[in-house]
Chains A and B, each alone.
Chain A
């Protein structure tokens, strides 16, 4: 039995466009893409050239520093284009998919041991679904994690409901969790909410910790902080639920099958619901014809931490959600002075605190201009961690690595600070500052 952790700090942003419990089918996209920029701190090298034929599971790019780690092709077909940006940096490796996918097959170990699991994960390319804190990068194959975390719920705005999403993949999910349990040497931690159905993790040999509270309770970083905090020099690995399913599928079938379900959500989606997709599929093939005509922003991920994208882009490697919201285009007369009905704020000078259940149709407006730090005590209300957010940010801005370490930079990731950025009266780019700090730490720490 794990811990029961009640979190008070945080905030659930209620916006329209939550997904219906329904899984739709899409016309498969013709071209798929692997984007090296999806992988943090990954110095990619190409394993293929234009014109090569590949099968699903074959290496497309690999890490120059750690050649055993590669990113597998989600489909079989022909490498049709390698798109480069300035300085010949590769942005996309595009693959024209075959009608029927041909798979590379792997030998799956008959009995699971730490060594055999590791070998299969590396050999199938699914090692790339493991990520580590700090830095959110793919871990070294010879490193030892303190423990492995899987959060079986997502608390962010309009997040997919994993109870529903995973119910058809229970066998693969449990196999995946079993594999991670073996890999962690018995130190697997599963994070669940009060709403998580026990069927998702029943029979799995792991510590199950229950988190009760508003977003960011579902963030793996928050869970690690409360269960097995990271100190300088330590790493913890984590895997997202659908990535566990993909790993489980490799061990159950001997094939790398990169399909997953994504939630297409947000105010500008006509009927928000789930779709079965394949990693690297075009955004066009997912959103086309399903959104309104209003000026809109397409986000891979949620409104707090996702990445802005366009229809001609492709689904990122770890994405489980696409959110489409209104883009801000109209200035607003005396907006700051009016009572502000229909506006969402944590501050009580807006009436929104009276209506905690009300759904607010937020657009991308900043609602102000960037200023120096003025108001204090704001970030603390939405960060359920024993960390002093403003002092950590200031130490990053000052480039003081020792102080950053002392204040807990190892434990955090941008997504954990997304709500701090949301509430910031001075409209400071909190997540960018955290990223800057993590990059500095990695380079010089």
Chain B
């Protein structure tokens, strides 16, 4: 690969200070460091050797963890489509259909979001961080497969500008940018993000949508009557309708295992959110109205884990280290309240069945406060031991 290195070295002076394209310096650096880990040595006043881990690798790990959910989501988009038309389809056909529909969404999300980052880097003269590598994939996975591409673009712009860059870029934002984009789209264009939008119903020559087709997700069903919920296996495997990446509990848990194993995602947050939902679900069981056995308060607590985007949100969104609580104790509290509020909102506010996104954004806002309390307590305990 030395010819590649030679090429990079030959164009490099143009982008350095005083060069023809000096303004594009950070853009160039972003591409150069993508290809090559630079030889830049430590500065001689601190440590002389460094751990091999960097932010590019951190983000790569998250993308790897998202892959099972992404691939399953693609397959499921095709499966749901053919199922709605009552057609038989092979695994490959399902996947191909899903790929056709989801790839443009992913491409638009990356192209627009990274475009905004590049423009920002150009005008503001700061380096391009790796944060969007993950955000760019998270946005599509939280959207239904039927989402128009212009909305994806709008979401990506909103996310990068108002979710991140106004605060100073990756590491400075206080709310999860991808979720912010999702919430923005949800409230700005409710017609596109609620109702019968979960399955792609683009016409198939010679076929009609079958009569038994219903566009309701498990969350909608759950609010009406819990006995009508799909089977446990349906919810765990994720062969049901929903946003592209959220449906399969199994695929998400493979991702969770990768995140926990590499330490990139906090197991404390994940575990305590699961516990929070379980405990809350159980408490609701205790006070559920006996007169109405179909009421959502009667739901077996653990089922909350498998419904809607609970697992996806908890594993991939709540654990975003920038917007989550940062102290060890804080992570437990933060996670627990996420589980708690998701269940409370789901059960008591049927207008917004998709409580996960709103809850995590809410807890993002509270995370600094949680940390503050934990740090104050730490200071007090230090003074006591003085």
- Interface mask (B233-267 → A, CB under 8 Å = 1, otherwise 0): 00000000000000000000000000001111010
Chain A hits for B262, CB < 8 A: 347-349
Q: Is the Cβ of A369 less than 8 Å from the Cβ of B61?
A: no
Chain A hits for B266, CB < 8 A: 376-377
Q: Is the Cβ of A297 less than 8 Å from the Cβ of B48?
A: yes
Chain A hits for B60, CB < 8 A: 336-337, 349
Q: Is the Cβ of B33 less than 8 Å from the Cβ of A369?
A: yes
Chosen A-B contacts, 29 in total, with CB atoms closer than 8 Å, are A304-B47, A305-B47, A307-B45, A308-B44, A323-B48, A331-B39, A334-B35, A340-B52, A344-B51, A347-B52, A347-B262, A348-B262, A348-B263, A362-B49, A368-B50, A368-B55, A369-B127, A374-B322, A377-B328, A388-B327, A388-B375, A391-B327, A407-B378, A418-B47, A422-B50, A429-B43, A430-B46, A431-B45, A431-B46
A427 to B41, CA, bound (A): 12
Q: Is the Cβ of A332 less than 8 Å from the Cβ of B36?
A: yes
The contact of A328 among B40, B53, B322, by CB within 8 Å, is: B40
In chain B between 19 and 56, which residues have their CB closer than 8 angstroms to a CB of chain A?
Answer: 33, 35-56
Give, as a whole number of angstroms, the nearest-CB distance from A311 to chain B: 15
5 tightest A-B CB contacts, nearest first = A368-B54, A372-B171, A335-B37, A308-B44, A331-B36
Give, as a whole number of angstroms, the nearest-CB distance from A40 to chain B: 14
- Interface mask (A310-333 → B, CB under 8 Å = 1, otherwise 0): 000000000000010101111111
A387 to B260, CA, bound (A): 24
Give, as a whole number of angstroms, the nearest-CB distance from A413 to chain B: 13
- B170 interfacial by beta-carbon distance below 8 Å: yes
Given contacts A350-B53, A372-B170, A388-B327, contact A304 B375 (CB under 8 A): no
The contact of B58 among A297, A308, A374, by CB within 8 Å, is: A374
- A246 interfacial by beta-carbon distance below 8 Å: no
A407 to B264, CA, bound (A): 26
Give, as a whole number of angstroms, the nearest-CB distance from B368 to chain A: 11
Give, as a whole number of angstroms, the nearest-CB distance from A361 to chain B: 10
Given contacts A374-B321, A376-B321, contact A429 B39 (CB under 8 A): no
Chain B hits for A299, CB < 8 A: 48
Q: Which residues of A contact B (CB under 8 A)?
A: 13, 15, 229, 231, 297, 299, 303-308, 323, 325, 327-337, 340, 343-350, 352, 362-369, 371-377, 380, 386, 388, 390-391, 406-408, 414, 418, 421-427, 429-432
Which residue of chain B has its CB nearest to the CB of A301?
A: B48
Give, as a whole number of angstroms, the nearest-CB distance from A379 to chain B: 11
Give, as a whole number of angstroms, the nearest-CB distance from A342 to chain B: 9
Which residue of chain A has its CB nearest to the CB of B324?
A: A376
Q: Is the Cβ of A423 less than 8 Å from the Cβ of B375?
A: no
Q: Is the Cβ of B58 less than 8 Å from the Cβ of A375?
A: yes
A50 to B326, CA, bound (A): 57
A20 to B20, CA, bound (A): 54
Q: Is the Cβ of B53 less than 8 Å from the Cβ of A365?
A: no
Q: Is the Cβ of B61 less than 8 Å from the Cβ of A367?
A: no
Q: Is the Cβ of B41 less than 8 Å from the Cβ of A297?
A: yes
- B383 interfacial by beta-carbon distance below 8 Å: yes
- Interface mask (B118-135 → A, CB under 8 Å = 1, otherwise 0): 000000000101110000
Q: Is the Cβ of A332 less than 8 Å from the Cβ of B37?
A: yes
The contact of B383 among A334, A368, A406, A422, by CB within 8 Å, is: A406
Which residue of chain A has its CB nearest to the CB of B2?
A: A333
Given contacts A327-B41, A328-B41, A369-B33, contact A375 B321 (CB under 8 A): yes
Give, as a whole number of angstroms, the nearest-CB distance from B267 to chain A: 10
- B303 interfacial by beta-carbon distance below 8 Å: no
Q: Is the Cβ of A371 less than 8 Å from the Cβ of B170?
A: yes
Give, as a whole number of angstroms, the nearest-CB distance from B2 to chain A: 9
Extra A-B contacts (4), CB below 8 Å, given A390-B326, A424-B51: A350-B53, A377-B263, A388-B375, A422-B51
A345 to B379, CA, bound (A): 32
Give, as a whole number of angstroms, the nearest-CB distance from A412 to chain B: 13
A111 to B44, CA, bound (A): 46
Chain A hits for B168, CB < 8 A: 372
Chain B contact residues, majority secondary structure: loop
How many residues does chain B have at the interface if contact means C-beta atoms less than 8 Å apart? 59
The contact of B264 among A349, A350, A367, A368, by CB within 8 Å, is: A349
Q: Is the Cβ of A380 less than 8 Å from the Cβ of B39?
A: no
Q: Is the Cβ of A427 less than 8 Å from the Cβ of B50?
A: yes
Chain B hits for A337, CB < 8 A: 56-57, 60
Q: Is the Cβ of B57 less than 8 Å from the Cβ of A336?
A: yes
Q: Is the Cβ of B48 less than 8 Å from the Cβ of A325?
A: yes
Give, as a whole number of angstroms, the nearest-CB distance from B332 to chain A: 12
Give, as a whole number of angstroms, the nearest-CB distance from B265 to chain A: 10
Given contacts A336-B60, A374-B171, contact A367 B53 (CB under 8 A): yes
Give, as a whole number of angstroms, the nearest-CB distance from B253 to chain A: 18
Q: Is the Cβ of A427 less than 8 Å from the Cβ of B37?
A: no
Give, as a whole number of angstroms, the nearest-CB distance from A261 to chain B: 22
Which residue of chain A has its CB nearest to the CB of B8?
A: A331
In chain B between 303 and 346, which residues have their CB closer than 8 angstroms to a CB of chain A?
Answer: 321-322, 324, 326-328, 331
Give, as a whole number of angstroms, the nearest-CB distance from B75 to chain A: 26
Which residue of chain A has its CB nearest to the CB of B322?
A: A374
Q: Is the Cβ of B386 less than 8 Å from the Cβ of A15?
A: no
Which residue of chain A has its CB nearest to the CB of B55?
A: A371
Given contacts A347-B262, A347-B263, A348-B262, contact A229 B37 (CB under 8 A): no
Which residue of chain B has its CB nearest to the CB of A345?
A: B52
Give, as a whole number of angstroms, the nearest-CB distance from A167 to chain B: 30
Chain A hits for B326, CB < 8 A: 376-377, 390
Give, as a whole number of angstroms, the nearest-CB distance from A242 to chain B: 22
- B4 interfacial by beta-carbon distance below 8 Å: yes
Chain B hits for A369, CB < 8 A: 33, 38, 40, 54-55, 127
- Interface mask (B165-189 → A, CB under 8 Å = 1, otherwise 0): 0001111100000000000000000
A407 to B374, CA, bound (A): 12
Q: Is the Cβ of A426 less than 8 Å from the Cβ of B55?
A: yes
Give, as a whole number of angstroms, the nearest-CB distance from A112 to chain B: 32
Q: Is the Cβ of A364 less than 8 Å from the Cβ of B41?
A: yes
